[in-house]
Structure 1
Amino acid sequence: MLLNRRHLAAVAALGALGLVAACGAPEPAGGPARTGGAVPDKPAKAVALNILDVAGNLQLTQSMIDEFVAKNSDVVSRVTYSKSPAPELVGKIKAQQNANRVDIDLVLTGVDGLAAGIEQGLWTPLLPTYADRLPGMQKYLPGAAAMQKLAGDHGVTVTYYPSGPLIEYLPSKVPNPPTTAQGLLDYARANPGAVQYARPSNSGPGRTFLMGLPYLLGDKDPKDPVNGWEKTWAYLRELDKHVTLYPSGTSETMKNLANGSAKIIATTTGWDINPRVLGTVPKEARIGALDGFHWVTDAHYAVVPKGVSTDKQAAVLALLNSMLTREQQAKAYDKGYFYPGPALSGVTLEMAPQESRTAIAEYGRPEYEKLIAEHPIEVPLDAKAVVAAFDRWDREIGGAKVRK
């Protein structure tokens, strides 16, 4: 897999990993649940799991989960899926915990929800007691291992990609796209409303655009949005003068690109490929990388809210063990949504389902190999810093223009 080669020099390998049990509150329904103490190897009887996705991760992993349930009916009797915007996650989980009635057993989240939950102390500390139950974590790609470090004790990386920031446009509408950060600002100034990115706290492309700017602009400390982003905040304030609205999620930016109400949008490798596969964005759309950009990587995590019973934690551990095998990880190629997607080394496109191979053969981009090879790779901000960055962006930059 090309990321396995190209990231070897980018980040250090992850050390020994494992999981810690948390005391669980009683299940809201379905009979008595074991609470407190060590997480058993297996639940006393098959449990029903409620899984909440705030990152679009199920597009990559639902087939992994469904296969596990079909083959392990003695562990998981059924799964209920639900979805929610990432900014609503903290309020939803806190309300259940305050009522001592947690009925969300597993959350699939990006860096945004992970960080917000860590900041609020919502997640069960998952490391390092049960390392032997998740041997797949020892096979992470170096980039995925670096993303795992962001989770600390609080989650497990299930999918990974180099992400962005990239720009996307239709050549018929933008025949001479900008190639620098200043050029993008100049284009926005000359074409009010034409440049668009979604609210960073609920958008992978919006988030990577925000975190990628300090590298593009040569800011003092790209990892410190409070004291090290003087150029970034100034740039965003100037760009904001020429931005009409900020969609609340990435999908709207894609639709706006397709209908012409936006001419240039922030994108990532996956958000470039998948909407073209689905027909949301015309196939002829192109991407660009601004001069001097650094990749800001991204990942999806599995986190367990505090208050989940130990029986359900046991089932979650068994499920994650299955998801972190190369056979299941190959499904993460999907139709390019999180391209490439797998978090483990040695998972090649040839191992993926035929529909994944067909989609990426037609809609993937040969230039990604060169871009990944030639540009530095950075991990995102840590939990405290990313919460501070999102808060400041909401207050000082675009919060008043977010379209709900």
Structure 2
Amino acid sequence: MAGVAMAAVAMPSSAMADPVQINVIDVSGNLALTQQVFDNYLAANPEKVSRFTFTKAPAPELAGKIQAMQNANRMDIDIVLTGADGLAAGMQLGLWEDLTPYIDQIGDPNEVLNPGAVTLQALADMQGVVIAYSQQGPFIEYMPDRVADVPGTAEELLAWCKANPNKLIYARPANSGAGRTFLMGLPFILGDSDPKDPINGWDKTWEYLAELNTCIEYYPSGTSTTFKELGNGTRDIAITSMGWDINPRYLGTVPASAEVAILDNTTFIGDGHLFSIPKGLSDERRAVAIDVLKFMLQPEQQAITYDAGYLYPGPSVKGVTIDMAPEESQQVMAEFGRPMYDELIETTPIDVILEPDLMIEAFRKWDEEIGAGKGD
């Protein structure tokens, strides 16, 4: 598979007999938040897991890969870490285990998760459980030494783009959290007739994106390229989210001096990462996967998802605050976080990403009518 990277966590030598290897695929970047959680589980449960293996791949490849394994009656993946995009594609094909029978073990998401994560959880229909959550954005991120007049409305952003061709960038929504947040946020910003219906209710959005397309050079297949180009001066404005603002500045990909702005009439689009289990596992491996999910929802493990701001805030479980996070995470937030984010979370309307079938339709329409011929 293209774009795949492998890693493994080995079992301590003192482990008991007959533990199993658990194979994890990450198509959302979630391991940036939860790698330590897997390490912690292995250390605490060597009698259950001999090691974890990790595969990273683009979200659009996920459903085909899982379906091929299921058709061959050889399911080699035990845990899927996905965004709503990969989850939706798998739901359309009936790839995921219904986790409802395991609520007594993992806890009722409606009681365990914070209110924003509960709204995202409802879309998953128990074919996944939200393990990280963010109000996302959208925002625009810009370099103040290169952008004199910062756009404050969608119309001003379009005018700026046309006056500065090829200097605005955002990633393909089907494989980018920041990209899909922009796509799903625009109908609210522009006042479309039905922000939840991308086919019949987004006339203003599709017209706007088509106009914006005239001054955008190309659409990266992944979000990280967006910020490499913002950081190296190729682009001056990038569509971003809270996490994609904080984390690249922490990493040094984007200068610390970068600023963000929010467009008028913005409604935040709640999004996150989910833990799904493919159909076709043995009872033993499925039981371990469920136990890993239960472990990952513990507050002390959830606090780790603050990480370095990658999906700010990060935790999906109630009552998990930054003071519970590792000291390094607290330092990152102190240096690279923005107080305005917590203020905006409290004052800005928040909605949730599209339902799975509608999300797939929106991605398909964008790919065909906006992004066609402009991929990397």
Query: What TM-score bracket applies, with the shorter chain setting the length?
Result: over 0.9
- Cα separation, 1, equivalents of 2:18 and 2:279: 21
1:320 paired to 2:320:
no
Residue 392 of structure 1, aligned match among 347, 362, 365? 365
Note the C-alpha offset of 1:107: 0.6
Residue 231 of structure 1, aligned match among 201, 204, 223? 204
The CA deviation string for residues 104-162 of structure 1, in whole angstroms up to 9 with x for no partner, is 111100011011111111111222x1211112732211001111111002011111011
User: What amino acid sits opposite 1:207 in the alignment?
Assistant: R
1:280 paired to 2:280:
no
User: What amino acid sits opposite 1:48 in the alignment?
Assistant: Q
Note the C-alpha offset of 1:314: 0.4
Higher relative CO (Cα under 8 Å, sequence separation at least 6) belongs to 1
Counterpart mapping for 1:255-404 below 5 A? 255-403=228-376
* 3-state secondary structure, aligned to 1:246: coil
Q: Is the contact made by 1:161 and 1:341 (CA closer than 8 Å) also made in structure 2?
A: yes
With the length of structure 2 as denominator, give the TM-score of the two structures: 0.94
User: What amino acid sits opposite 2:330 in the alignment?
Assistant: R
- Cα separation, 1, equivalents of 2:178 and 2:99: 28
Note the C-alpha offset of 1:399: 2.6
Note the C-alpha offset of 1:229: 0.4
1:131 matched to which residue of 2? Answer: 103
The CA deviation string for residues 20-63 of structure 1, in whole angstroms up to 9 with x for no partner, is xxxxxxxxxxxxxxxxxxxxxxxx94211000000000010111
Note the C-alpha offset of 1:375: 1.1
2:9 matched to which residue of 1? Answer: none
1:171 matched to which residue of 2? Answer: 144
* 3-state secondary structure, aligned to 1:159: strand
Residue 167 of structure 2, aligned match among 191, 194, 213? 194
User: What amino acid sits opposite 2:278 in the alignment?
Assistant: P
1:46 paired to 2:19:
yes
1:86 paired to 2:35:
no
- Cα separation, 1, equivalents of 2:45 and 2:84: 30
Counterpart mapping for 1:99-114 below 5 A? 99-114=72-87
- Cα separation, 2, equivalents of 1:318 and 1:370: 36
2:120 matched to which residue of 1? Answer: 147
The CA deviation string for residues 258-316 of structure 1, in whole angstroms up to 9 with x for no partner, is 11111111100000000000101000000110001000011100111111112111001
Flag structure 1 segments of 5+ consecutive residues without an equivalent.
Answer: 1-43
- Cα separation, 1, equivalents of 2:265 and 2:293: 37
User: What amino acid sits opposite 1:372 in the alignment?
Assistant: I
- Cα separation, 1, equivalents of 2:96 and 2:317: 24
- Cα separation, 2, equivalents of 1:247 and 1:80: 28
* 3-state secondary structure, aligned to 2:313: coil
- Cα separation, 1, equivalents of 2:65 and 2:334: 40
- Cα separation, 2, equivalents of 1:124 and 1:400: 36
- Between the aligned residues of both structures, percent identity stands at 52
Counterpart mapping for 1:25-44 below 5 A? none
The CA deviation string for residues 181-203 of structure 1, in whole angstroms up to 9 with x for no partner, is 00000011111111110000000
* 3-state secondary structure, aligned to 1:300: strand
- Cα separation, 1, equivalents of 2:23 and 2:256: 36
**Equivalenced residues, count:** 359
